[in-house]
Amino acid sequence: MHQNSQKFELLLPGKIIFGLGSVERTGEEAKKLGNESALIVTSRGMTKRDALKHVIDSLNIQRINTEVFCEVDPEPPIENVHRCMELAEGCNVIVGLGGGSVIDVAKKTAAELGLPKIMMPTTAGTGSEVTHEAVFKVEGRKKAFVDERLTPDVAIVDPNFMKMMPQRLKASSGIDALAHATECYDSKKSNTLVKALALEAYQVIRDNLREAVEGKEEAVENMAWGSLVAGMAFGNSGTTLAHALSYPLSNEGIPHGEAVAMVLPYALEFNGFDAAVIKKVREIIGGVKLGREVKGDIEEMAKIVMEDEKHLSNNPREVTFEDVVSIYKRVLEERE
């Protein structure tokens, strides 16, 4: 295909700041958005860490008042957003500091209130700091919201934050980024630019995830880059079958990255993805030792997958109920 015969659009934050120590830019960027009062959305655990102090200090230097909302649950219910919106009254910028769950709550709160937003990830995985998507549990089931208003104004990616991640979180969030890079490559909405970003992200994650999990600092910094680039890619082309298969597992309480790790190789195989890449993906997932017991009923889970039009309509190959049941059976067999 000739590059000039394509049509596509790329939706990204107005500014992306990447690099060690870039947290120092938070106050300056908030000031440019014309703000005097910021609500920092974060997790309970982050309230005990230096990362939050650095963010508050940077905002205080610019004389920006700060409030903190830390009641974000893992795999957050939409009610987290409603609570956050109440606390955001009187604030004029939202700063998200945390993993994907925190950033999703921060983005959705800001979008609902029409406020500018700065997002800072502390995990190398979701890429949510650069996408216009957020995922919540609505009445107990995971649901993705896609809306241009969810796009952050500024994304600040400071790899220093990722160095605090526990080992298992480094592994699971890294596999999530790996899924973003591989799934979006062949999605129906993919294009030449998405493929270039996806390939770069895949290569970086492939070469660094294992060492990052082992705690090598340079590898963790590289994973921050890989996750960001994967987010830029899938944010503009969407994910496919593996993410659809992972949602029912997360409904049962399995963390998102681990749920994705359990199904990714099977989904790539079903879609006829490059065999050498699938082999490598299996190797990477095996190397970081992820996965949990599946408790749900296979047919019930398959029904939920078949209702997931967002992911299935984007999948390069048509998926039937029987296909999903068969994949889940293989996942279960391998876990036994």
Task: Note the pLDDT tens digit of each residue in 62-75.
Answer: 999 999 999 999 89
Do 197 and 60 sit in the same domain of this protein? no
Mean pLDDT of 279-305: 91
Compute the average pLDDT of residues 126-146.
Answer: 94
Band of pLDDT at residue 3, cut at 50, 70 and 90: low
44-53: long-range contacts, CB 8 A cutoff, minimum separation 24: 44/70, 44/71, 44/72, 46/70, 46/97, 46/98, 46/102, 46/122, 49/164, 51/23, 51/97, 51/122, 51/161, 51/164, 52/97
For residue 83, tell me if it sits in a domain: yes
Q: Looking at the domain assignment, is residue 272 inside a domain?
A: yes
Same domain, yes or no: 246 and 299: yes
Instruction: Tell me: do 157 and 173 sit in the same domain.
Output: no
Final residue of a domain: which of 134, 164, 194? 164
3 lies in some domain: no
Look at residue 10 and tell me if it is in a domain.
no
Place of tokens 């591989």: 182
d(CA 243, CA 187): 12
171 and 297 housed in the same domain? yes
Vertex 119 angle, CA 256 and 159, to 5°: 75
Same domain for 289 and 172: yes
Task: Examine the domain organization and report whether 148 and 208 are in the same domain.
Answer: no
If you average pLDDT over residues 316-326, what whole number do you get? 98
Q: Does one domain contain both 49 and 137?
A: yes
Between these two residues, 293 and 303, which has the higher pLDDT value? 303
Same domain? 115 vs 171 = no
Q: Where are the alpha helices (DSSP H) in the chain?
A: 26-32, 50-61, 79-87, 100-113, 167-185, 192-213, 217-234, 241-251, 256-270, 275-288, 298-306, 309-312, 321-335
Burial of 236: CB neighbours in 10 Å, binned 0-12, 13-18, 19+: buried
Rounded to 10 deg, the angle between the 241-251 and 167-185 helix axes is 140
Q: How far is the C-alpha of 119 from the C-alpha of 98, rounded, in Å?
A: 9
Calculate what percentage of the chain has a pLDDT beyond 70.
98
Do 74 and 176 lie in one domain? The reply is no
Q: Domain of 113?
A: 15-164
Out of 164, 190, 211, pick the residue that ends a domain: 164
Give Rg (Cα) of the chain. 19
Q: What is the 3-state secondary structure (H, E, C) of 202-244?
A: HHHHHHHHHHHHCCCHHHHHHHHHHHHHHHHHHCCCCCCHHHH
How many CB atoms within 10 Å of residue 280? 16
Q: What is the CATH number of the domain that holds 70?
A: 3.40.50.1970
Q: How far is residue 258's CA from residue 288's CA, in Å, rounded to a whole number?
A: 10
The total number of structural domains in the chain stands at: 2
In a domain, 315, yes or no: yes
CA distance 202 to 194: 12
d(CA 223, CA 220): 5
Are 158 and 207 in a shared domain? no
On whether residue 201 sits in a domain, the answer given is yes
Looking at the structure, do residues 247 and 141 belong to the same domain, yes or no? no
Assigned domain for 42 exists? yes
Answer yes or no: is pLDDT of 1 > 60.
no
Which residues touch 88 (CB under 8 Å, ≥6 apart)? 39, 69, 94, 109, 110, 113, 115
Give yes or no: residues 294 and 219 share one domain: yes
Report whether 235 contacts 133 (CB < 8 A): yes
Q: What tens digit of pLDDT does each residue of 153-199 get?
A: 999 999 999 998 999 999 999 999 999 999 999 999 999 999 999 99
Q: Which amino acid is at 9?
A: E
Structure tokens at 141: 């089931």
* Number of C-beta neighbours around residue 181 at 10 A: 27
pLDDT at position 11 = 94
* Whether pLDDT at 5 is above 70: no
Query: What span, in angstroms and rounded, lies between the C-alpha atoms of 184 and 123?
Result: 20
Does residue 2 lie in a domain region?
Answer: no
Is the pLDDT confidence value at 321 over 70? yes
Last residue in a domain, options 164, 192, 221: 164
Pairing of strands 93-98, 15-18: unpaired
pLDDT tens, residue by residue, 6-50: 788 899 999 999 999 999 999 999 999 977 899 999 999 999 989
Q: What is the pTM of this model?
A: 0.94
How far apart, in whole angstroms, are the C-alpha atoms of residue 231 and residue 204? 13
CATH number at residue 263: 1.20.1090.10
